[in-house]
Amino acid sequence: MNRRAALRGGATALLLVVGFVAGIYVDQAFPEWVPYIGHRNVASVDLTPVQEATRLIQADYVDTSVDPNKLSHGTVQGLVSSLGDPYSAYFDPEQYKRLQENYQGRYTGIGIYLSFSSTDYPVITGTVPGSPAATAGLQAGDQIVKVGDKDAKGITGDQATALIQGPEGTKVTLTILRAGESKTFTMTRAQIQVPTVRSAMVGNRILYVRIYQFGSQTSSEFASALKDGLPGTVGVVLDLRGDPGGFVSAADDVITQFVSSGETFETHGRNGIDRHQVGSNHAAPSEPLVVLVDANSASASEIVAGSLQVHQRARLVGTKTFGKGSVQQDFVLKDGSDLHLTVERWYLPNGQTIDKKGLTPDVPVTLASPSDEYDVAQPSLGYAKDTQLNAALGLLSGG
């Protein structure tokens, strides 16, 4: 069984619904192989009603072409749904395969970044340059009302990924709401590879680094951004806005670049407390640092921002974060499907939880519109309207 520890971002995801899910929230450690016998003893569950219902459906349902695989997947989905946990999920083999590609920064989709709300429609926060979405004219601030004929209100990042991604060359139709007007866009899915980290020089010799998601390549990409950008700089802005989470190991590595000793964060679960410690690679242990956060910064991004705040290594600028303090783990079943279960809670180095509370910025600053946010992929557009970034630059005396 493939087991993955995952700290997925909550209802927000910087979803490179291109499949990259630059925010398909997936805070997780690298895969381990763990035998089933390693699991603890559990109370038995009477599955007789499930088996009986399955037999009745196969024998008496009016449509004789019932797919047994769908019945099997639906049964597991029902078990997960009964937990009442918004972060536990079930993915069929094809969905899980696409998620694995997302973890690597690869996907087949349309190339949009999304933020999510459990009570509203997903909002596009940006597009990948040259992607089908950018070519079609989708814009930051667009709300996705429908994907095909499915209402998109309250959907999660994983659900959006399953709906919007698909085989290369196939089409997907989005109904969006822009400035009160409904518009429909039909796009052809394409292969897209997107970095999880982008950087640029801004202000007066300030290194700006944005992490879209903590993926499998983030540690090396972030280290490269610091190596190339730090010489000659007077400070760093780390932008975690809209970042829904990613690999736990990547979160540890990012914290380690700025903190020379101590604990990065800790997890509490059935097996006790696991204290994550700062590593050995410190590229900027004393560099002046400001971290940008917003309501869509979740999970692993909250670990990084919160840990840097607790260690007094950075001031946080922006708005209160999402508040997701649980840890999920991927259990791959024999048929290639995935059971994504909450297995732990995580805490900051000071023992505090941010679950359902979020992190409070040291300097609260709102952004008038998502479209005002600096797009490091298109630096020529500037950041004059990005009030949060400009506040950070002011704190670093670089604006």
* pLDDT tens column, 243-297: 988 788 899 999 999 999 999 999 999 889 999 999 999 999 999 999 999 998 9
Q: What is the pLDDT of residue 37?
A: 31
Percent above pLDDT 70 for the chain: 88
pLDDT (average), residues 177-199: 92
Burial environment of residue 100 by CB neighbours within 10 A (0 to 12, 13 to 18, 19 or more): buried
Q: How far apart are CA 160 and CA 139, in angstroms?
A: 17
- Report pTM: 0.77
Mean pLDDT across the stretch 358-385?
Answer: 92
Contact 106, 350 (CB under 8 A): no
pLDDT above 50: residue 25: no
Least confident piece of the model among 66-80, 116-130, 212-226, 347-361: 116-130
- Dist. CA 128–CA 193, nearest whole Å: 10
pLDDT per position as a tens digit, 58-100:
888 888 888 888 888 888 889 999 999 988 999 989 888 877 7
Phi, psi of 137 (to 5 degrees): 100, 15
For residue range 322-335, list pLDDT tens digits in order: 999 998 888 999 99
pLDDT by residue (tens digit) across 328-358?
888 999 999 999 999 999 999 999 999 999 9
Domains, in order of start, for the chain: 197-323+348-395 (3.90.226.10)
Q: What is the pLDDT of residue 11?
A: 31
